[in-house]
Amino acid sequence: MYRSLMALVLLCIAVDSRAQDIKTWHDIAYGDAPAQRLDVYAPVHARGAPIVVMVHGGGWTIGDKRNPGVTGLKQPHWNAAGYVFVSIDYRMLPTADVVVQTEDVGRALAYVQKHAGAWGGDGRRLILMGHSAGAHLVALLAADPQLAYAQGAASWLGTVALDSAAYNVPRIMTLPHAALYDRVFGKDEAYWRKVSPLDRLHGSVQPLLLVCSSERLLSCMQARTFADAVLAKGGRAQVQPEALTHAQINAELGGDSDYTRAVDTFFRWLGLP
């Protein structure tokens, strides 16, 4: 409770001190569906700035690009560092399955890359980030970038997956699992492989940072297995365990912590400020 309260206080201070230096664009359409919308937060004087594109979680069924845990401390932190921060919505179950959700994220990515200059950003210097179900979606795109390229996107610098436990969908579905996964992934084994980052992995992918909660055994175990598979194919991946809950992995990123500094170090490793 104390940690959450302090995070809220820090967020209020950050918003108050920096809001006047940030330009915002809300509900920009990247497609025709009502859910295909994104918000942009950019430093007023941004020119050729790197970009973070954030994909919310919510079990592939709920969630919103403006949830406090999604933008929260992340947006002011990276805006203060000179980044453009973009938070996206996408269609969800039951009207849009995981394949369609992945296509929406790819389409949003393409839109951001194409229009980055209008917000002072550089679409070539872009990090794709997601939490929970959003982490699964960005990991799927990282594993098989052709899914994004098919939506008009170009290559991006790297991907940060915040506490996904769905890197190996067939394994999840053949072991005891939460009922949620039955609603999301169904009974078709071919579909499991189609939406499984580990099964879609081919060739050398862009660098990945896989943050996992050490309080969730399955999360870190799957992250390490996925990272090993990326490395075996000549890609670059690192696992960042954090002694935080699943929700805290999302909400506390951007705060003054070793966790945030580790993610910033990954950005610098990619050549970003």
Looking up tokens 């929700």 gives 247
Domain locations in the chain?
Answer: 2-269
Alpha helices (runs of H) in 19-132, residue ranges in sequence order: 74-80, 98-115
Q: Give tens-digit pLDDT for 199-225.
A: 999 887 889 999 999 999 889 999 999
Q: Give tens-digit pLDDT for 126-180.
A: 999 999 999 999 999 999 999 999 999 999 999 999 999 999 999 999 999 999 9
Q: What percent of the chain has pLDDT over 90?
A: 90
Q: Residue 51 — φ and ψ, nearest 5°? A: -130, 140
Q: How many angstroms separate the CA atoms of 267 and 8, rounded?
A: 25
Q: Tell me the pLDDT band of 4, cut-offs 50, 70 and 90.
A: very low
pTM above 0.85, yes or no: yes
pLDDT at 264 over 70: yes
Identity at 92, one-letter amino acid code: M
Q: Which residues of 169-190 are buried (b: 16+ CB within 10 A; e: fewer)?
A: bbbbbeeeeeeebeebbeeeee
Q: Reading across the β-sheet that carries 237-242, which strands appear in turn?
A: 22-29, 37-43, 84-88, 49-55, 121-131, 158-162, 208-213, 237-242
| Domain boundaries 2-269, CATH class | alpha beta
pLDDT at 205: 87
Q: Tell me the pLDDT band of 13, cut-offs 50, 70 and 90.
A: very low
pLDDT at 56 over 50: yes
**54: nearest Cα among 128, 106, 3:** 128
pLDDT at 31 over 70: yes
Name the token pair of 192. Answer: 């499991």
Alpha helices (runs of H) in 92-216, residue ranges in sequence order: 98-115, 133-143, 146-149, 169-174, 179-185, 189-194, 197-200
Task: Between 16 and 263, name the one with better pLDDT.
Answer: 263
pLDDT at 206: 87
* Gyration radius from the chain CA atoms: 17
Over residues 90-117, mean pLDDT = 98
pLDDT at 20: 60
Mean pLDDT of the chain: 93
pLDDT at 65: 98
Q: Which one-letter DSSP state was computed for residue 173?
A: H
Over residues 85-106, mean pLDDT = 98
Q: Tell me the pLDDT band of 17, cut-offs 50, 70 and 90.
A: very low
Asked whether the beta carbons of 87 and 25 are under 8 A apart, the reply is no
Over residues 229-256, mean pLDDT = 97
pLDDT at 76 over 50: yes
